[in-house]
Amino acid sequence: MNIDELNSLVDSGEIDEFIRVCEARQCKEISKIADDAASRGCIRAVLLAGASSAGKTTTAKRLCTQLRVDGIAALHLSTDDYFVGDKRNPRDENGELDYETVEAVDRERLSQDIAGLLAGDAVKTRRFNFVMHDGYDSDTPTKLPEGGIVVLEGLHALNPSILPGIDDKSKYRLFIEPSTQPEVFVTTRLSSSDARLMRRLVRDHQFRKMDPLETFRMWPKVLAGEKKWIDPFRGLADATFDSSLAYELAVLKPYLSGLLMRVLYRRPDEAKAQLFANLLEAVHATDPTKVPGDSILRETIGSSQLDY
């Protein structure tokens, strides 16, 4: 897929069917992964990891649905909900809060809660407020039916220091990444990290009220954290999932264009913002309402039918 082909689909009206095909392909792949995990018979925890804005949360929720199709109760949890909060969060060598380190996760509480769930206990799991940067206990206790599976997603889900008390034979590990990106400039393909940065710019603005310039400022630290805390454990995965959607640039354009203009007005030397702006000039936009309610892209643009 290249930009000209995508534009042709938008202009001809064939984009609607193309979106449906892209989404159906992902659904089929998630179903296969659920079937694989279910067939092993001994899995109690699916650990789903991926870099920032890879689509982990939506994938985890859809995986839970597919496990239920296989007759297995499934409960979604996120390591993000177990962040220790700014008061306890470690700082880097420059004295800034380091949100990428595994030490930012309350692993003891996470292990305790999941052990309780797998034992059949009613547990008040954690939630995290990303605007206030603080966590809190859920109001209502959660109980996992007998034989159920916990689907845990997050940056550090594949790190062996997460859930050390659970037998490795009971874990199914999944790595997610938007690995297939469109051809943009002649033979140049958009990188996976650039695709994720575009998603994150929109998501941070939509749900975390973050200035897009701040998202750009933080991105090098995010990538450095991924190299240190995610890449070393990718090889542990039992399966991988490509979370890219070949049509997404046409949907993201209306959301991104204004954000990039705001960045370039204040920082005209922001090369990545200029690159994205130039790319989007060549992309024909499509109506975001065409995106299904349970799409991974809804995690970025909002109005998802899934409960986050």
Q: What is the pLDDT of residue 25?
A: 97
Reduced to 3 states, what is the DSSP secondary structure of residue 123?
strand
Q: What is the pLDDT of residue 13?
A: 96
Residue count of the chain: 308
Contact 83, 204 (CB under 8 A): no
Tokens of 86: 């700014």
How wide is the angle at C-alpha 145 spanned by C-alphas 26 and 296, nearest 5°?
20
Q: What is the pLDDT of residue 262?
A: 95
Residues 171 and 165: their CA atoms lie apart, in Å, by 11
Is the domain covering 3-301 a CATH 3.40.50.300 domain? yes
Q: What is the pLDDT of residue 186?
A: 58
Residues 192 and 101: their CA atoms lie apart, in Å, by 21
Pairing of strands 171-177, 239-242: parallel
Q: What is the pLDDT of residue 228?
A: 94
Contact 138, 109 (CB under 8 A): no
Q: What is the pLDDT of residue 188?
A: 67
- E strand or H helix at 126, and its extent? strand 126-129
- E strand or H helix at 34, and its extent? helix 15-39
Q: What is the pLDDT of residue 187?
A: 59
Q: What is the pLDDT of residue 185?
A: 63
Full pLDDT tens readout for the chain, 308 residues = 889 999 999 999 999 999 999 999 999 999 999 999 999 999 999 999 999 999 999 999 999 999 999 999 999 999 999 999 999 999 988 898 899 999 999 999 999 999 999 999 999 999 999 888 899 999 999 999 999 999 999 999 999 999 998 999 999 999 999 998 877 765 567 889 999 999 999 999 998 889 999 999 999 999 999 999 999 999 999 999 999 999 999 999 999 999 999 999 999 999 999 999 999 999 999 999 999 999 999 999 999 999 87
135: which strand partners? Answer: 128
Tokens of 156: 């550090």
How many C-beta neighbours within 10 Å does residue 231 have? 10
Reduced to 3 states, what is the DSSP secondary structure of residue 306?
coil
